[in-house]
Amino acid sequence: MAGHSKWANIQHRKGRQDAARSKLFSKLAKEITVAAKMGDPDPDKNPRLRLAVKEAKSVSVPKDVIDRAIKKSMGGDAENYDEIRYEGYGPGGVAVIVEAMTDNRNRTASNVRAVFTKYGGNLGETGSVGFMFERMGQIAYPASVGDDDTVMEAAIEAGAQDVESGEDGHVIWCAFEDLNDVSTALETTLGESETAKLIWRPQTTTELDLEGMQKLMKLIDALEDDDDVQTVTANFEASDAVMEQL
């Protein structure tokens, strides 16, 4: 029975992974549809759409799903989504920003508030934690693209603000409004990046122990499980030992 139990457990985990993957694809497709509807359906003429398609490709969203999402934006029956940001505190006083796209503001607000309450958080007013983050463009390249100096030189030339290089690769930071231009410029010198997206970069962080991390992860998982929620960002940090135990 041990083997059977292990197989059941593996199946269960795979089921959860497949469900999470399906949900991620759905959220990226929604962003593509909204970006295409707000601008030109041609990614080359629409910076937001270009970045949305790039992000989708980086996690292997099939081309037909991307094409279908763009075509959906041109149809008269495409849903209208409001983009909303929620801010609050999670367990341990960690600041949390939730970005959502919704066709029903009341439903989304109610769901997000319920999750914060259930998992030991507090939903605040807009701006209550936003000052702890900076909206920035983040472009990622694998370590194989070049050494630190090569990437730094290319980033400066492209108009980036900062570069973080390590064994896992290079992360290039730029002003949020410059993301498309910097990303495009870098492609001419370093080739296509792994990802290029807008994120909330924490200016201060709150360190958590194992128990705190476990509580926070439950909150983040529950928020990300909501179909209306696009991204969740938190300003936590944890030691390598704690992350390994997770």
Q: What is the pLDDT of residues 180-194, one digit of tens each?
A: 999 999 999 999 899
Indicate the DSSP class of residue 53. H
- Residue 214, C-beta contacts closer than 8 angstroms, at least 6 positions apart: 246
Domains belonging to the chain, first-starting first, are 2-74 (1.10.10.200), 81-246 (3.30.70.980)
- Residue 235, C-beta contacts closer than 8 angstroms, at least 6 positions apart: 94, 95, 129, 132, 133, 202, 203, 204, 205, 206
% of the chain surpassing 90 pLDDT: 62
Lowest-pLDDT choice from 3-12, 18-27, 65-74, 80-89: 3-12
Q: How many CB atoms lie within 10 A of CB 105?
A: 12
Q: What is the mean pLDDT of residues 94-99?
A: 95
Answer whether residue 135 shows pLDDT above 80. Answer: yes
Q: What is the mean pLDDT of residues 123-129?
A: 92
> Tens of pLDDT along 195-223?
899 999 999 998 888 898 999 999 999 99
- For residue 100 the two structure tokens come to 């959502």
Answer whether residue 154 shows pLDDT above 60. Answer: yes
Question: What is the band of 115 on the pLDDT scale with cuts at 50, 70, 90?
Answer: very high
Answer whether residue 4 shows pLDDT above 50. Answer: no
Answer whether residue 13 shows pLDDT above 70. Answer: no
pTM: 0.82
Type of residue at 226? D
- Measured in whole angstroms, the distance separating CA 115 from the mean position of its chain's CA atoms is 19
Q: What is the mean pLDDT of residues 103-109?
A: 94
Tell me if 74 sits within 8 A of 36, measured CB to CB. Answer: yes
